[in-house]
Amino acid sequence: MKIAWTTMILVTVILVVFSITILISKKSNMSREKNSPFECGFSCMSSARKPFSSHFFMIGILFLIFDIEISIILPMMNTSMTNMQEWFTSSMITMIILILGLVNEWNTGMLEWTK
């Protein structure tokens, strides 16, 4: 009986504390965009046609590809002990694809910072 009362009091205290924290931390910054339903996006507050550097985007994609390459090559080190020929073939195919992509980027001039 004492355990039931203790549990009930504990649950009540926790509910009161949660209710107080919700009331204290409630944000009241309401604007037209926050009050409207979200269907296909917010209204633009500034011009949507800002200039975009496609060169910067391509450098970012190139960095992302070589960053993902590290996460592909690192697990290959664990498989090098089991089957050396399979490991060598898969790592060489991965490296050839990455080198061909890098040569293509270099030939198109995407690696140059200024043109």
- On whether the CB atoms of residues 60 and 28 are closer than 8 A, the answer is no
- pTM reported for the whole predicted model: 0.45
Taking the C-alpha atoms of residue 52 and residue 44, their distance in angstroms, rounded to an integer, is 17
- pLDDT tens column, 64-111: 887 887 777 777 777 666 777 887 888 888 889 888 888 888 888 877
- On whether the CB atoms of residues 101 and 65 are closer than 8 A, the answer is yes
Domain boundaries, given as residue ranges, for the chain: 54-105
